[in-house]
Amino acid sequence: MSGNSDATATALARIQTDTVVAMLKALYPGLQFEIIAMSTTGDKILDTALSKIGEKSLFTKELEHALERNEVDLVVHSLKDLPTVLPPAFTIGAICKRENPCDAVVFHPKFVGKTLETLPERSVVGTSSLRRAAQLKRKFPHLEFKSIRGNLNTRLRKLDELQEFSAIILATAGLQRMGWQNRVGQGALGVEVRAKDQDILDLVGVLHDPETLLRCIAERAFLRHLEGGCSVPVAVHTAMKDGQLYLTGGVWSLDGSDSMQETMQATIHVPAQHEDGPEDDPQLVGITARNIPRGAQLAAENLGISLARLLLNKGAKNILDVARQLNDAH
């Protein structure tokens, strides 16, 4: 059968795709998977900050076209690259167990042993994320922040070989998947499929990690309700403890001077193994999970929406509107 298309035609994308294929082969040893490497708009436009491009499907559009034409059956993404609203023909058929969702600081060789706090005044830190920049500007006002684009290899080469950056901010999960722990998403991998292709949905659905799935539903519901994306600094984090799902979300101004953060929790049953879920069209925030109880999914979605409404009622919309206007103006 036709297999996975990788998300960015890079070494990391290939590793992520190979990881999913290995899990599927272990479950379905009789099936063959062909891997087709593809590039996306986001991979090709490297001289512009993500927040300036204005395209919501930077890392998905070309891959979804291949799905639509039946050239591939599955697409492996870093879940953070998938918009919270997908085209009607597509759905996330599997969310794999999340790895470390934290950010990592990687320093230029001459600053090894330093911390962001101890970097010299006006040192330049590279990141492609408005959210990361806003959070760090607030905490480390003595630093300057500049956009850096490219795959992991390219960004690390820019850091090591040029004298432009003192440090760069990367996703820990990506560094770990590449085997570069010594240099230290959001940690989760999502498998996108055709929404009405029941055979493929059944094939990949067994990859759902129940806890990661419910956490991602809450996070994506929060981001969707706030209309958070690459053009505004919005952050969300979840933790599961003793049957409680804790959701923390925040918004920042572009310079980090204004911010708002709140935490809410809900009691959510995480099944120890796959159980019977909804039989009808069960998509929530672009995710289909027929083997996870519908009640747990709805509780996670409601938690995300409730936290977003709380922030909006406290004035988050003003912060986000100003951030969008300033980002569009620069």
Active site residues: 81
CA distances from 139 to 101, 116, 125, 144, 145 (A): 20, 10, 13, 12, 12
Environment class of 32 (CB within 10 Å of its CB; exposed 0-12, middle 13-18, buried 19+): exposed
For strand 259-267 and strand 90-95, is the pairing parallel, antiparallel, or unpaired? unpaired
Residue type at 107 in one-letter notation = F
For residue 265, the cross-strand partners are 246
Determine contact, residues 254/127, Cβ cutoff 8 Å: no
Determine contact, residues 229/206, Cβ cutoff 8 Å: no
Q: Alpha helices of the chain — where are they, by DSSP H?
A: 11-27, 41-44, 50-53, 61-68, 130-139, 152-161, 172-177, 198-205, 210-226, 294-313, 316-329
